Structure 1
Amino acid sequence: MIVSGDDRLHTLRVGQTTPDGIRLVSVDADSAVVDIDGVRQTLRLGERVVSAESASAGASVIIEGDGQGHFVVQGSVNGAAMRFLVDTGATAVSMGAADARRAGIDYRQGRRAQSQTANGVAPIWIVKLNSVRIGGIELSDVDAAIHEGDMPIVLLGMSFLNRMRMSREGSRLILERRY
C-alpha cells in the first residue's frame, strides 16, 4: 500500500501506478521498490516516502515516522542508494567509509578533522557530495563527514536539512526545499 500526494491509500500490484505517478516496481517479504519521477527507491517495512513532488525549488517530501518516532527514508548520494536517518543533531550528512566508497567518494582527499559523537571523539574527513537526493528533492555540493568506521545508516544532517523548510503533521515530517 502506498500513500500518495492525494493523501489516499492505494493498493497496487507490481507495474501499477498511483494517480500522481508513483509506480510499484517490485515487492518482497520486507520491502518494496517504487519509481518516483524516474528515481527508484527501496522502501523497507516501517519506512516510506509518503509523497514526493518535483525537484524544483518548493519541492517537498513527506516522511512517515517509524514506531519509535524516527524518520528513516531511502535516497541516494552521488546516485548510489542510501538509507538515511533524519538527524537535526548532526552538523553534516554523515556516513561510514564503506558507504562513501560505494558512492564513489575519495574521502581521504578531504580535510581531516575530528567529530564529537555519542561514542566520543572520532576521526572524520570533510568532503563535498556532488548530489544528495531524497524523493523529488536533489541538492548539490552538500557538506559531509565521512567516518573511518562503518555506520549502520547515513545521517541526514543539517548540511542538507538547513536548505529545507521542516514541519510536522502528526507522525509525518514534511521537508520542503527552500532553495
Structure 2
Amino acid sequence: MHSYLQKLAQRRVGFQAGLVVILLLVAQAATAMDIQVRMLARGSALLEIDGKQRMLRDGNKSPEGVLLVSSDGKKAVIEVDGKRQALTLTKRIATNFTKAQKSAVRIASTHGGHYVTPGRINGMPVEFMVDTGATMIAMNYVVAERLGIDYRAGRPIKVNTANGVAQAYEVILSSVSIGDLEVQQIRAAVSSTEFPQVILLGNSYLGKVDMQVDNGVLLLQSRH
C-alpha cells in the first residue's frame, strides 16, 4: 500500500510539473511580439508592434505592454515583461553618426520604398510622406481645414496633380517638426482638390535640414 501511494504521489508531482511547463509555454507565446523600430528621435520613437504603429515618448507604455525606456535618436531601449533590449533601425546605423550634439531623426522605408513619418504642423499631429521632388510641403484643402489653416488667404498658385493642373494656395506654416527637428516659417501649398491624399514633406522643409540615406534608412539632421 505504501509503495502504491508513493507512486501515486510521484505521478501527481510529474503531472503538476508538466502543467507548469505548459502554462509557461502558453505565457511565453502570449507575450511574443514582433517589434520593429520605424523612426528614432531623441526622447521618442515610432515602434511597429505586431503590425500596429505606436508613437511613444520616453517612459510611455504601448497598449501591448511595450515600455519605451529611452531613445537617444540612435537606438531605442524597450522593456517587455521586465526584460530590456536595445533596438536600432539597422545594425549599422548606430555606428555611423556619432555627433550627438545635433538633433537627428532616422526613418525606415516602408515596403513600397517610401519614407513615411509622424510629425507636427503648427503643433498639431500629422503624418508625412517624404517627397524630394516636391518644391514645398503639399496638402489638400481637407487637411488644411482640419489643421485650422486659412489657406484662402494665401497666394493663389497653380499645381500639377494626377488629374492635371489645379488651383492651389501658397501659405506660410508657423512650424513643422519631425521628432525634435523643428523648422519655422515654412512655405506650403494647399490644393483646392483632394490631392495629394497624404501630406508631402517637400523641399521647403527638407532644404533646411541635412539629409542622408544609409542602408535604406533616411537620416534627417539639424545643421546647427
Bin for the TM-score computed over the shorter chain: 0.7 to 0.9
Contact 1:22 1:37 in 2 (8 A): no
Q: Which residue of 2 aligns with 1:121?
A: 165
- 1:172 aligns to 2:212 (yes or no): no
- 1:102 aligns to 2:124 (yes or no): no
- SS of the equivalent of 2:143 reads helix
Instruction: Report the CA distance shift for 1:152/1:117 in structure 2 as closer, same or farther (over 3 A).
Output: closer
- 1:153 aligns to 2:198 (yes or no): yes
Instruction: Report the CA distance shift for 1:23/1:115 in structure 2 as closer, same or farther (over 3 A).
Output: closer
Q: Which residue of 2 aligns with 1:73?
A: 117
Shift of 1:103: 1.6
Q: Which residue of 2 aligns with 1:135?
A: 179
Shift of 1:68: 1.4
Distance in 1 (alpha carbons) for counterparts of 2:189 and 2:139: 7
Q: Which residue of 2 aligns with 1:32?
A: 54
Identify the structure with the greater strand proportion: 1
Distance in 2 (alpha carbons) for counterparts of 1:68 and 1:171: 12
Residues 51-110 of structure 1 show CA distances to partners (whole Å, capped at 9, x for unaligned) of 748xxx831110000111100001111112111000011000001112111222100000
- 1:63 aligns to 2:85 (yes or no): no
> Given the two structures, how large is their TM-score scaled by the length of structure 2?
0.59
Shift of 1:2: 5.2
Identity of aligned residues (%): 35
> Given the two structures, how large is their TM-score scaled by the length of structure 1?
0.73
Partner AA of 1:167 in structure 2:
Q
Q: Which residue of 2 aligns with 1:13?
A: none
Identify the structure with the greater helix proportion: 2
**Structure 1 unaligned residues grouped into runs of 5+:** 8-19, 39-49
Distance in 2 (alpha carbons) for counterparts of 1:156 and 1:101: 18
Instruction: Report the CA distance shift for 1:172/1:117 in structure 2 as closer, same or farther (over 3 A).
Output: same
State the number of aligned residues.
152
Higher Rg: 2
Distance in 2 (alpha carbons) for counterparts of 1:28 and 1:90: 33
What is the RMSD of the two structures over their aligned residues, measured on CA atoms? 3.2
Partner AA of 2:163 in structure 1:
N
Q: Relative contact order, CA 8 A, sep 6+: which one is greater?
A: 1
Partner AA of 1:152 in structure 2:
Q
Q: Which residue of 2 aligns with 1:111?
A: 155
Distance in 1 (alpha carbons) for counterparts of 2:44 and 2:191: 34
Partner AA of 1:172 in structure 2:
V
Shift of 1:123: 0.8
Instruction: Report the CA distance shift for 1:52/1:148 in structure 2 as closer, same or farther (over 3 A).
Output: farther
